[in-house]
A and B are shown apart, each in its own frame.
Chain A
Amino acid sequence: MSDLTPLAVFAVAAAGAAIVGLLEQLVAGVRPAPLALARAAAATLRQPLSRPDRRDGWLFHLAPGLLLIAALGALAFVPWAPGFRGIDLSTGAIAFAAALAYVTPAIFMAGWGAGRPLAVVGGFRWLALMLAYAMPLAMIITAVAAPAGSLRPTDIVEVQHAVPMALVQPLALALWLPAALAVCFLPPFDLPQADGELGGGAFSEYRGLDAALIGFAQRILLVAVSGMTAVLFLGGWQGPLLPPALWMALKTMAVAGLFLWVGRRLPRLEVDRVLSLAWKVANPLAILAIAYAGLITLLFYR
């Protein structure tokens, strides 16, 4: 479990910041007042309790950070080469989905916190969309993990040494690709921002560094999702001649390129049409994909 030490590093950072605050007072010759520091921290912590005047500005300012954390968290679970990955958990594939799940509240917070009609519409659209697509995403991960008998991404790569999962479970791949593209809120799934109709939507009020952070987080999301697609379906780092990391990079770039290429060529999808597709088609098919995965696991992978 030593891979979870990053959490402890955060705790050390929080404690360290407080101690530095005390040292500053000490060095400045002021009598150290830990209580004043505690009061300042408490004032920050009390912020959610103040009554909003016009909008939840507190959520608005937290959203880009949460989006970045979710994107980086997802990236951390993608294995790039044998022994080269951020965090190695035996449930890494599910942890990847868990990190992606926090994109949803982040974008909702951005839209709701902006307190403008179009931004709120963008936030709610995103909620509805991601609730519909989160389930196929998680179910497909289960289906792909079944032959490996493990949720550890490296095990999923190893089990594809002969045949990549894309050929074994084409239905799962067909369901995964649109859902994965939707998580990155890239066109044609750019419904929360929808520049043509919502004028920036959930992100319309962000300027400067905040806007840059959101763009950065979106690109990281694309890298993470493309990398996981390569891991789950294309055999990850496995391939002849070239070094493993290069194979992985090539596959990731190919998937990312495909996503961007599709986005350039398809019109933005209508919200209600995407939702009815997700609930009436993608979700039942995902259950079918799990049943199929169970079948081939019993037949060929034991």
Chain B
Amino acid sequence: MSDLATALVFWPAAVLMLVTGLYVFITSSMARAGLLLLASLGIEGLVFLALSSEFLGVLQLLMMSGEMVTMVFFMVMFMPDPGGLMGMDMVHDKRRSAAVAGLVGVGLALVAVLTDWPARAVGTDAPDVRAIGFEVMGRSMLTFLFAAMTILFAMVGGVLLAKYGGRYRIGAPAGEDRGGEAR
């Protein structure tokens, strides 16, 4: 794309991405929060595309749809007020979380600005691309697999902890508090 076209896509998309990202934490409905996050990350994919980072953009668009939709699924399942009809709040412990978020944001911005990014253009046949491929599929494979399994265990564990015995406490030991809907 020409510089003008890039700018025309980049700036509105970047602003919209930040706004929708902010909305995620202000809205009260779980479905809205998840879908707004999808909108934010999908628009980020468009920003990548505008910056000629084609593969990254397409992959971002593809992966985020599946992931955010899964998240909506879990959020609606676990939250006590998924529709936001009673006006639930996405944010807790506001002062401390704002401080942490501010610090992390400033830190990341500093990294982005202060890092000495390489300025040369890399073509598709460049040795770097090949090197990244061998790195990902070779030495780093074990790390990736380990991370993937850890995330999977965390997800399964989270479901088990949150839904001990399921909604109707099926299989819970006798005499235990039969909370939730079975009460």
A134 and B66 contact, Cβ closer than 8 Å, known pairs A52-B83, A59-B35, A112-B31: yes
Q: Which of A28-36, A96-104, A186-194, A230-238 makes up part of the contact surface?
A: A96-104
> Complex formed: what's the CA distance from A117 to B9 in Å?
39
Contact B54 A131 (CB under 8 A): no
Contact A56 B1 (CB under 8 A): no
Q: Which residue of A11, A51, A128 is within 8 Å of B84 (Cβ)?
A: A51
Q: Which residues of B contact A7 (CB under 8 A)?
A: 5, 9, 46, 49-50
Most buried by A among B36, B58, B83: B58
Contact B8 A11 (CB under 8 A): yes
Q: Which of B68-76, B125-133, B143-151, B175-183 makes up part of the contact surface?
A: B68-76
Bitwise interface map of A from 88 to 99 toward B, beta carbon under 8 Å scored 1, else 0: 011100110111
Nearest-neighbour CB distance to chain A for B34, whole angstroms, equals 9
Contact A101 B66 (CB under 8 A): yes
Contact B1 A131 (CB under 8 A): no
Nearest-neighbour CB distance to chain B for A81, whole angstroms, equals 23
Q: Which of B20-28, B101-109, B153-161, B162-170 makes up part of the contact surface?
A: B20-28
Q: Which residues of B contact A89 (CB under 8 A)?
A: 54, 58
> Please, which residue of chain A has its CB at the minimum distance from the CB of B20?
A48
Give the size category of B's interface with A: 35 or more
Nearest-neighbour CB distance to chain A for B152, whole angstroms, equals 14
> Complex formed: what's the CA distance from A51 to B2 in Å?
42
Contact A56 B69 (CB under 8 A): no
Most buried by B among A55, A101, A124: A101
Contact A4 B50 (CB under 8 A): yes
Contact A59 B32 (CB under 8 A): yes
Contact B69 A131 (CB under 8 A): yes
Question: A108 contacts the other chain (Cβ, under 8 Å)?
Answer: yes
Contact B62 A98 (CB under 8 A): yes
A127 and B73 contact, Cβ closer than 8 Å, known pairs A4-B1, A109-B35: yes
Contact A14 B12 (CB under 8 A): yes
On chain A, the number of residues with a Cβ less than 8 Å from chain B's Cβ atoms is: 44
> Please, which residue of chain A has its CB at the minimum distance from the CB of B61?
A98
Contact A108 B69 (CB under 8 A): yes
> Complex formed: what's the CA distance from A101 to B84 in Å?
26
> Complex formed: what's the CA distance from A127 to B52 in Å?
31
A8 and B9 contact, Cβ closer than 8 Å, known pairs A45-B19, A101-B62, A105-B35: yes
Contact A49 B23 (CB under 8 A): yes
Q: Which residues of B contact A1 (CB under 8 A)?
A: 1, 52, 54
Bitwise interface map of B from 67 to 97 toward A, beta carbon under 8 Å scored 1, else 0: 0111011000000000111010000000000
Nearest-neighbour CB distance to chain A for B24, whole angstroms, equals 9
Binding site for B on A (CB under 8 A): 1-2, 4-5, 7-8, 10-12, 14-15, 45, 48-49, 51-56, 58-59, 89-91, 94-95, 97-99, 101-102, 104-105, 108-109, 112, 124, 127-128, 130-131, 134, 138
Q: List 17 A-B contacts (CB under 8 A).
A: A8-B6, A12-B8, A52-B28, A52-B29, A56-B32, A56-B83, A59-B31, A94-B59, A98-B58, A101-B62, A101-B65, A101-B66, A104-B65, A104-B66, A105-B72, A108-B72, A131-B66
